[in-house]
Structure 1
Amino acid sequence: MIDEETRSPCLYPLLYVMSKLRLKSLSTQQSNLNALKFWYAFWKEKFNENFCLSFYKSKYNAEIFIEEIDSFFIYLENNSKHDDGLIRIKKPLEVNYTTISKKIQDIIKYLIFLIDNFFRRDVEESKSKHSFIRRQILILQNKSEQFARVSSSNSNVKQFKSLTERMKDSFLEIATPSTPVNSNPKNVFKDSATQFRNFLIARLLINYGLRVGELLLLSINSRTLNRYSGNTSLTIEDTQDIEDYRSPKPRIKNEQSKRRIEISRDDYNLISYYIENYRPDNAKSDLLFLSLQYPFPPLSYSSIKKMFNIWDKQFRELYPNYYDSKYTDSIDKLSAHVCRHTWATLMLEYAHITAMNSSSSHEIAISQAIESLKKAGGWSSNSLMVSRYADRYLSERANSTNISRIKNHGKVL
């Protein structure tokens, strides 16, 4: 971010990038800095002063921005226009509150960074005040998330972003490649090489919950075989390939994303078969998934999105009831990200059942299952994203528990 008057980088956003954002993906950096741009524009319009200067002049007093969060929310609602006389009577129908909430949450992360790094805590009173201000910020964050969940649509009922077991099987069925013996009329991709490559991509995404960026970073050397145990695995890591000119360039999301995941022998064999029979031999890149058209460039984010758009159209035509909102288990769209949600849901269910076999406490079992899911999915230990990805299972589990309670303790009048 550049100050328009001084033509120099804004100090605190620059420190934030260097300290917190530099190891994040480019898309995450862009999203966070875009939110900061709105915050700085709001502050300039309201106070006619750069936020960095205001924060410095206040001697790093966090209270100057806490009381402005609500005003910033209204500013975003009002199409980025500040008006001191403006109050909210009702929600404008055309406003996307999910987008607004995301901006608020990104700003709050930045403000927490400022509090933790610049707030004076050398005396006991300051320590106590720091804790109080941090709690106030977190309360605002929770409110923004709750508001987005309620306001993101005209209905208070949301559609899940994961497939049921039956939907998953239906998806893999339309992705299954034809063989010399059996043709698959549901597969919309024509040539066998494309069919097999795309089927392998679908399998890896839905069986192991890979992020798209992680999938696109797999190389022919990512698969490993343990000579003693016979276990097969995939190594997820950043290639650091300076000749990777894809835009945006795939990157590992965080340090926890660098991991080795065990895969089934069937999937290991499918990868080997793809490399030996379909992946172009004369490709310059070592990356696993390539275009099958010369000069065989690596697949990009847009390639995966286009692939899933084709699958989504076919899936919608063959199984329209899967998209029908009158059913509680309907979906809105089939995408690569939905595959990660699906994996998280099915993985959490299996891990929870397994943990229950060795624990008498439901709370302990679900906690163990979530920790297992975090490690397998490359989430940090303090991440709250797991419950969002696996919300289908958590919701169904809660409803099932409630129905059991009613059956066991309820009375029929």
Structure 2
Amino acid sequence: MAYSILHLSRNNQRTHLIVDDVTTLPVMFATIYGMNELSKKHLGTQENILCSLRFFYVYYFKKHKRTFDYDFYRSGYNISCFIRELDGFFTYLLGKQHLSDETDIISTGFLHSALSRTNKSTYGNHVRNVGRFLKYLNYRYMNLAYQDMSPVEAHQINQANHRDLADRIKVFNRVEVSRNEPAHRYKSITSQQR
């Protein structure tokens, strides 16, 4: 399954959406997130965040052969099982599988130290963007309007999800690059000038 980012312009207002290439419909939860949260951000920021979400949607479909939206609905709008997907998503990005058109996730062996500083920080940003999306879904859907449970239960699940997600994202905030890797500054200076 493939997804595209669609650029919309209407009445001098511009926005971006993720569209399912098979059904040609916008993906539901990313669209709601985009309209409620991302519409307040610059267009370039919207596009970068939606690019991260598109990578995640493709990863999720390749792994589970079901769409994220369907599984999120079937889970009762509870993000707890999706928080665990962030590690696999990061590995998927590190293996550069988001750049291939393979229908399945391929197990790849790679060395973390061989990856550039730019790649690790970029992939960490993709994971953090997906984390913010999950945080929004938790805030929006783990309440009495969408859950058939007591207020105390809904609050406890919301707080547990929030805490678990924050702990998981903290790991990606500390993604480090090998100290043996040279810094790629001063690209215009030759080695003799250093």
TM class, shorter-chain normalised?
A: 0.7 to 0.9
Q: Which residue of 2 aligns with 1:130?
A: 158
- Separation of aligned partners in 2, 1:51 and 1:68: 11
Q: Which residue of 2 aligns with 1:385?
A: none
- Separation of aligned partners in 1, 2:184 and 2:166: 25
Q: Which amino acid aligns with 1:126?
A: A
Going from structure 1 to structure 2, the CA distance change for 1:67 and 1:28 (only over 3 Å counts) comes to same
User: Residue 97 in 1 paired to residue 120 in 2?
Assistant: yes
Counterparts in 2 of 1:373-392, with a 5 A limit?
A: none
- Separation of aligned partners in 2, 1:104 and 1:78: 14
- TM-score, normalised via structure 1 length: 0.36
Given that residues 38 and 80 in structure 1 are in contact (C-alpha distance below 8 angstroms), is that contact kept between their aligned partners in structure 2?
no
- Separation of aligned partners in 2, 1:102 and 1:156: 22
- Separation of aligned partners in 2, 1:13 and 1:153: 37
Q: Which amino acid aligns with 2:126?
A: K
1:78 to partner: Cα distance = 1.2
1:132 to partner: Cα distance = 1.2
- Separation of aligned partners in 2, 1:102 and 1:58: 26
Counterparts in 2 of 1:243-322, with a 5 A limit?
A: none
Deviations 1:172-225 (A, max 9, x none): xxxxxxxxxxxxxxxxxxxxxxxxxxxxxxxxxxxxxxxxxxxxxxxxxxxxxx
Q: Which amino acid aligns with 1:26?
A: L
Counterpart of 1:50 (choices 67, 76, 79) is 67
1:5 to partner: Cα distance = 2.4
Deviations 1:51-103 (A, max 9, x none): 111101111121220111111111111112624x6677x41514510111010
Q: Which amino acid aligns with 1:49?
A: R
Counterpart of 2:177 (choices 134, 151, 154) is 151
Going from structure 1 to structure 2, the CA distance change for 1:93 and 1:87 (only over 3 Å counts) comes to closer
Counterparts in 2 of 1:11-410, with a 5 A limit?
A: 11-80=28-97, 82-83=105-106, 90-91=111-112, 93-95=114-116, 96-121=119-144, 122-147=150-175, 150-151=176-177, 154-155=180-181
Going from structure 1 to structure 2, the CA distance change for 1:31 and 1:153 (only over 3 Å counts) comes to farther
How big is the alpha-carbon RMSD for the aligned residues of Structure 1 and Structure 2?
Answer: 2.9
- TM-score, normalised via structure 2 length: 0.73
- Separation of aligned partners in 2, 1:126 and 1:80: 37
- Separation of aligned partners in 2, 1:47 and 1:6: 19
Going from structure 1 to structure 2, the CA distance change for 1:157 and 1:146 (only over 3 Å counts) comes to farther
Identity %: 23
1:142 to partner: Cα distance = 1.4
- Separation of aligned partners in 1, 2:112 and 2:65: 28
Given that residues 83 and 165 in structure 2 are in contact (C-alpha distance below 8 angstroms), is that contact kept between their aligned partners in structure 1?
yes
1:27 to partner: Cα distance = 1.4
1:113 to partner: Cα distance = 0.6
1:157 to partner: Cα distance = 8.5
1:152 to partner: Cα distance = 6.9
Going from structure 1 to structure 2, the CA distance change for 1:22 and 1:153 (only over 3 Å counts) comes to farther
Going from structure 1 to structure 2, the CA distance change for 1:153 and 1:117 (only over 3 Å counts) comes to farther
Identify the structure with the greater strand proportion.
2
Given that residues 32 and 103 in structure 1 are in contact (C-alpha distance below 8 angstroms), is that contact kept between their aligned partners in structure 2?
yes
Higher RCO (C-alpha 8 Å, min separation 6): 2
- Separation of aligned partners in 2, 1:114 and 1:152: 34
Runs (5+) with no aligned partner, structure 1: 160-311, 318-322, 325-413
- Separation of aligned partners in 2, 1:20 and 1:152: 35
Given that residues 113 and 178 in structure 2 are in contact (C-alpha distance below 8 angstroms), is that contact kept between their aligned partners in structure 1?
no
- Separation of aligned partners in 2, 1:74 and 1:30: 22
Q: Which amino acid aligns with 1:151?
A: V
Given that residues 128 and 172 in structure 2 are in contact (C-alpha distance below 8 angstroms), is that contact kept between their aligned partners in structure 1?
yes
- Separation of aligned partners in 2, 1:10 and 1:152: 38
Given that residues 119 and 130 in structure 1 are in contact (C-alpha distance below 8 angstroms), is that contact kept between their aligned partners in structure 2?
yes
Runs (5+) with no aligned partner, structure 2: 1-17, 99-104, 145-149
- Separation of aligned partners in 1, 2:128 and 2:87: 13
